């Protein structure tokens, strides 16, 4: 089987009230058309033809495509049938053509595979769904034997036909040779004066081609967006779809309506995700990871059995097995935490490496720091890494103990087993197994004079 996917992405999207093409509006952190491209990539031996029009260069620059992608420009917006006809020259001989829409991004690969199977014997396969409010959709007209006879656009539908709840998604599949014969026959004698792709259904039936509808179990796969309000609905449907995918993979989600995945998220079995978490970019969670409420994770890898307490922020970093972070911890800038390390409340690590079983539990800033194994950093410690011009590194070897409220003025190194007194300002490197104290001596106590 050779599936050729035509994505119609030439619309201006004026009702979206923005300056960018409609298909570039993001759903779940990914442009709508990109979501479709990613889904098509899952289907074997597929080729993609993207029909572009308004701001075509901006669309091409934004979307990431495979080598098996062709671009076709539709200069005049004359309807969906005209758009498909524009792309036909790029289809392969003997292929099955699947028509998709750049603003309908939630269709799943398993649905598309079912559609391809229905169209494999030169039948016309069309995706339909039932809508409580079918306004704006073409209605599916069935015969007394429940066979699909035609698709009537709402502008051309009678009052009785407008009451039909089964509607057309616009997505269909047909053998390329058949499609090439039927498209030139389509006329634009309708209320909009456009060439409707839906007319191909009636023409196919007259030609003796069987029509096989694929009624969606989950209508959200056919949701599109023409207005900002519809984009909001599409976003919620996308988030719910992604949350249910996680649940189906063995991840416990506290509330599928209170999770936002703005990119891609994979998680291992036995993991738990509490409410109001946001995952952005590419995020990987290992097995048995526990993510507390109100966390933000971006472009990071969280390995097995990590515990993230409430309000933890992780960006562009890697957290090793068995680590404990939070509450109110921030990790960023390519930081790496080795296994069983801990960063506690109001601790920030930036461009740093925290060794195995090392800890900074309270009110600490680690910038451009390297910690060995089993280092203990006391509360209120900061690495003074910036001199106003350059940033400098702080190195702590294994088993270093940093007293509370210590300022480590970089560049500085602390040898294995060394330790600092609380309240110290350390400006010089400390040898191994040594104590460093850098603070003013406490003056002798002075007794207060009693008032007469």
DSSP H helices in 249-296: none
Please tell me whether residues 345 and 218 are part of one structural domain: no
Instruction: Tell how many helices (H) and how many strands (E) occur in the chain.
Output: 8, 37
Q: What is the pLDDT of residue 452?
A: 66
Q: What is the pLDDT of residue 9?
A: 92
Q: Domain span at residue 200?
A: 3-222
Choosing from 194, 222, 250, the residue where a domain stops is 222
Choosing from 179, 201, 222, the residue where a domain stops is 222
Closest CA to 64 of 43, 29, 36, 85: 36
Please tell me whether residues 76 and 213 are part of one structural domain: yes
Q: What is the pLDDT of residue 122?
A: 83
Residue 13 lies in a domain: yes
Please tell me whether residues 67 and 200 are part of one structural domain: yes
Total-model pTM:
0.89
Residue 238 lies in a domain: no
Q: What is the pLDDT of residue 186?
A: 93
Contacts of 323 (CB under 8 A, 6+ apart): 303, 306, 307, 337, 339, 340, 341, 342, 343
Contact 97, 175 (CB under 8 A): yes
Q: What is the pLDDT of residue 313?
A: 98
For tokens 């601790």, the residue is 347
Please tell me whether residues 218 and 81 are part of one structural domain: yes
Residue 395 lies in a domain: yes
Q: What is the pLDDT of residue 55?
A: 85
- Report the alpha-carbon distance of residue 337 to residue 370 in Å, rounded: 10
Total domains in the chain come to: 2
- Report the alpha-carbon distance of residue 417 to residue 318 in Å, rounded: 26
- CATH, residue 423: 2.160.10.10
419 in helix, strand or coil? strand
Choosing from 193, 222, 251, the residue where a domain stops is 222
Please tell me whether residues 217 and 340 are part of one structural domain: no
The alpha carbon dihedral of 226, 232, 233, 236 has a sign of: positive
pLDDT, tens digit (0-9, with 9 covering 90-100), for 166-192? 998 989 999 999 999 999 999 998 888
Residue 308 lies in a domain: no
- Report the alpha-carbon distance of residue 351 to residue 428 in Å, rounded: 22
Q: What is the pLDDT of residue 367?
A: 98
Residue 281 lies in a domain: no
From the candidates 41, 82, 175, 362, give the one annotated as an active-site residue.
Answer: 362
Please tell me whether residues 211 and 354 are part of one structural domain: no
Residue 449 lies in a domain: no
Please tell me whether residues 216 and 342 are part of one structural domain: no
Contact 354, 374 (CB under 8 A): no
- CATH, residue 27: 3.90.550.10
Please tell me whether residues 28 and 151 are part of one structural domain: yes
DSSP string, 147-183: -EEEEE-GGG--HHHHT--EEEEEEEEEEHHHHHHHG
Query: Where does residue 234 fall: left (phi above 0), alpha (psi -120 to 50 degrees), or beta otherwise?
Result: alpha
Residue 312 lies in a domain: no
Please tell me whether residues 212 and 85 are part of one structural domain: yes
Residue 232 lies in a domain: no
First to last CA, the chain: 104
Instruction: Give the residues of the chain that fall short of pLDDT 50.
Output: none
Residue 362 catalytic? yes
């Amino acid at each position: 089987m050779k599936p050729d996917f035509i994505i119609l992405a030439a619309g201006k999207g004026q009702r979206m009230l923005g300056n960018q093409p409609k298909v570039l509006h993001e759903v779940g952190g990914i442009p709508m058309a990109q979501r479709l491209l990613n889904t098509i990539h899952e289907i074997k031996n597929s080729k993609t033809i993207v029909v572009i029009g308004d701001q075509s260069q901006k669309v091409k620059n934004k979307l990431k495509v495979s080598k098996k992608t062709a671009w076709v420009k539709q200069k005049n917006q004359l309807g969906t049938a005209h758009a498909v006809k524009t792309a036909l020259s790029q289809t392969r001989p003997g292929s099955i053509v699947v028509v998709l829409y750049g603003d309908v991004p939630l269709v799943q690969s398993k649905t598309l595979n079912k559609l391809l199977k229905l169209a494999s014997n030169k039948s016309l396969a069309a995706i339909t769904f039932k809508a409580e409010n079918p306004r704006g959709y073409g209605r599916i007209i069935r015969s007394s034997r429940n066979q699909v006879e035609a698709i009537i656009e709402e502008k051309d539908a009678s009052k009785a036909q407008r009451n039909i709840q089964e509607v057309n998604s616009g997505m269909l599949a047909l053998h390329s040779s058949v499609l090439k014969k039927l498209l030139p026959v389509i006329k634009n004698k309708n209320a909009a004066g456009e060439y409707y792709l839906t007319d191909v259904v009636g023409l196919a039936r007259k030609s003796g081609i069987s029509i096989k509808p694929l009624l969606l179990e989950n209508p959200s796969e056919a949701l599109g967006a023409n207005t900002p309000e519809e984009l909001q609905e599409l976003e919620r449907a996308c988030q719910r779809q992604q949350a249910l995918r996680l649940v189906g993979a063995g991840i416990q989600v506290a509330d599928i309506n209170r999770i936002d995945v703005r990119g891609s998220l994979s998680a291992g079995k036995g993991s738990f995700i509490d409410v109001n978490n946001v995952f952005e970019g590419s995020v990987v969670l290992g097995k048995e990871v526990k993510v507390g409420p109100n966390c933000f994770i971006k472009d990071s890898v969280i390995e097995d059995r990590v515990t993230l307490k409430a309000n933890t922020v992780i960006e562009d970093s890697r957290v090793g097995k068995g680590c404990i972070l939070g509450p109110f911890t921030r990790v960023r800038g390519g930081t790496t935490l080795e296994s069983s390390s801990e960063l506690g409340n109001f601790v920030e690590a930036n461009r740093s490496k925290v060794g195995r079983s090392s800890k900074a539990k309270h009110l600490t800033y680690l910038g451009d720091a390297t910690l060995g194994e089993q280092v203990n950093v006391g509360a209120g410690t900061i690495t003074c890494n910036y001199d106003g011009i350059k940033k400098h590194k702080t190195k702590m070897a294994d088993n270093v103990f940093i007293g509370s409220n210590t300022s480590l003025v970089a560049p500085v190194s602390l040898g294995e087993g060394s330790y600092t007194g609380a309240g110290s300002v350390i400006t010089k490197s400390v040898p191994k197994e040594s104590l460093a104290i850098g603070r003013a001596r406490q003056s002798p106590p002075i007794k207060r004079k009693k008032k007469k």
